[in-house]
Amino acid sequence: MKIYSTLTRKKEEFVPLKEGEVSMYVCGVTPYMDAHVGHAMSYITFDVIRRYLEYKGYRVRYIQNVTDIDDKIIDRALGQNTSTSELAGKFFSSFSEDMAALNIRPADEFPQATREIPKMIEMIQDLIDKGHAYAAKSGSVYFRVTSMPDYGKLSGRKLDDMMAGARIEIGDEKEHPMDFVMWKASKPGEPSWSSPWGPGRPGWHMECSAMALKYLGQSVDIHGGGQDLVFPHHENEIAQSECATGIKPFVRYWLHNGLLKLGDEKMSKSLGNLVTIKEALKTFSSDGIRLFVISSYYRNPLTYSLQALEASQKGAERLAKAAALENNGLLPCTIDLESFKTAFTQAMDDDFDTPGAVSVLFDLTRQINASKDAGMDIQNSQDLLKELSNVLGLTLTQRQAEPTEAKPFIELLVAVRKRLRQEKQYALADELRNGLSELGVTIEDKPEGSAWYFNKE
């Protein structure tokens, strides 16, 4: 199996540190608002990677942090007259609901920043002792980038080039403009924790270094996140972790997903062009959304559009229908299941080529439909379709036709039809029933009255 690593910029043979086991860390959310479909893209991607590794027989330990304290949370809590912990708790449950609705399996653990402060303080002190960090007058602690000769290796930046672009601000207490904060002295009124350098809170980069090391050990097999995290976040995670432990590499394979765009722009809070996962799920099923994401190679940017999602939704329904076909064929099936399995595995072994894997599912679906028509026993092929779909996190549940908004209008038409029948206007009543039937609503006349239901497909 080959995986592209951002650090080496090439596909490498995947060899985990411990045979048969994979440690995996993915940067988690900052819960201060509802998660959007950009989050869905990232977490679906890493869910599929985790599922595939397990399918290959690896035991995967998957950690995802929760940044439950940062500037945005503090601002938002202040604006809503609530505490930071209450706000973060509320939006983390909302996030968990969204993940479950998208059939994304929860991480093995979700460590929260505010509960891991001792570990972070210990690591910061260690970096100070080793000369990699210093406490400034304000009480903030910074990482000393000049103490690490290969700083910038993940993003391919050199300190000298970064210097040229950096602005030295007056009153800046840092030794070097690229030094970054690991412990932030708190301003009056902000939530704070006590530390050897005074009251403050941990920086975001420190949070991920400390949690990865604590929960997964000194070398992590896979570290994931969006491409927007390469610099500075992941660059700084490497600096802190490798300088603290003295062990390289901190991460064996760095995986970054492409970003979700809306039109030509990145979907982001600051541009105000967010679609929340909850909104998307009102129109599309979990399988529809997942198929939209995995039909594109994870490292490429993906453009959100209703047309693309509608197409994926139809695709998801095609797969579900084939899996649910009644198997009453008696002839032996001629589908070569092994070749489908091989093609699927080959695609996924090539840096998780999910578009390739998805096309295998559709080929199999076409053959299942044809075999069913030819009177063959399709049981084993349907089982394989379900098995491979499950590796991609597709549930193959058929979407219930439940246009609930239509309900009151249908009731009204059914009531009008009843009146017509009472007045013996049978032709008009039948016209109404036939019209509704064409729209997917069946009316059944029973002695106790007329019942109606949405047609089953």
Binding segment for Zn ion (CB under 5 A), chosen from 25-33, 72-80, 351-359, 398-406, is: 25-33
Q: Which is nearer to Zn ion, 251 or 267 (CB)?
A: 251
Q: What are phi and psi of 112, to 5 degrees?
A: -105, 140
Q: Which is nearer to Zn ion, 22 or 208 (CB)?
A: 208
Hey, what long-range contacts does 272-277 have (CB within 8 A, 24 or more apart)?
A: 274/36, 274/38, 275/36, 275/37, 275/304, 276/34, 276/35, 276/36, 276/37, 277/34, 277/35, 277/36, 277/37, 277/39, 277/40, 277/98, 277/101, 277/102
Q: Which is nearer to Zn ion, 30 or 354 (CB)?
A: 30
Q: Which is nearer to Zn ion, 27 or 436 (CB)?
A: 27
In the complex, least distance from residue 208 CB atom to Zn ion, rounded to whole angstroms: 3
In the complex, least distance from residue 119 CB atom to Zn ion, rounded to whole angstroms: 15
Please tell me whether residue 27 binds Zn ion under the rule CB under 5 A: yes
In the complex, least distance from residue 27 CB atom to Zn ion, rounded to whole angstroms: 3
In the complex, least distance from residue 123 CB atom to Zn ion, rounded to whole angstroms: 14
Torsion of CA 275, 279, 285, 287, to 10 degrees: 30
In the complex, least distance from residue 217 CB atom to Zn ion, rounded to whole angstroms: 17
From 53, 77, 208, 289, residue interacting with Zn ion (rule: CB under 5 A): 208
- Cβ(224)–Cβ(60) below 8 Å: no
Give the number of other CB atoms < 10 A from CB of residue 330.
8
Please tell me whether residue 154 binds Zn ion under the rule CB under 5 A: no
SS3 annotation, 114-177: HHCHHHHHHHHHHHHHCCCEEECCCCCEEECHHHCCCCCCCCCCCHHHHHHHCCCCCCCCCCCC
Bridge partner list, 60:
22
Beta strands in 204-301, from DSSP E residues, in sequence order? 220-226, 251-257, 260-262, 265-266
In the complex, least distance from residue 186 CB atom to Zn ion, rounded to whole angstroms: 21
Distance CA 344, CA 389 (A): 10
Please tell me whether residue 238 binds Zn ion under the rule CB under 5 A: no
- Name the region of 208 (left: φ>0; alpha: ψ -120 to 50; beta: rest): alpha
Binding segment for Zn ion (CB under 5 A), chosen from 23-31, 137-145, 163-171, 365-373, is: 23-31
Binding segment for Zn ion (CB under 5 A), chosen from 20-28, 36-44, 124-132, 192-200, is: 20-28
In the complex, least distance from residue 246 CB atom to Zn ion, rounded to whole angstroms: 21
Binding mask 281-320 for Zn ion (x = CB under 5 A): ----------------------------------------
Joined tokens for residue 264? 């030509």
Q: Which of residues 423-452 bind Zn ion (CB under 5 A)?
A: none
Binding mask 168-207 for Zn ion (x = CB under 5 A): ----------------------------------------
- CA 41 distance to own-chain centroid: 5
Binding segment for Zn ion (CB under 5 A), chosen from 21-29, 108-116, 164-172, 381-389, is: 21-29
SS3 annotation, 276-334: EHHHHHHHCCHHHHHHHHHCCCCCCCEEECHHHHHHHHHHHHHHHHHHHCCCCCCECCC
Q: Which is nearer to Zn ion, 27 or 302 (CB)?
A: 27
In the complex, least distance from residue 223 CB atom to Zn ion, rounded to whole angstroms: 8
- Site size for Zn ion (CB under 5 A): 2
- CA 360 distance to own-chain centroid: 23
In the complex, least distance from residue 216 CB atom to Zn ion, rounded to whole angstroms: 13
In the complex, least distance from residue 106 CB atom to Zn ion, rounded to whole angstroms: 18
Distances (CA, A) of 98 to 62, 150, 224: 18, 39, 20
Q: Which is nearer to Zn ion, 42 or 382 (CB)?
A: 42
Binding segment for Zn ion (CB under 5 A), chosen from 27-35, 46-54, 91-99, 429-437, is: 27-35
Helices (H) and strands (E) in the chain, counts: 15, 15
Contact positions vs Zn ion (CB under 5 A): 27, 208
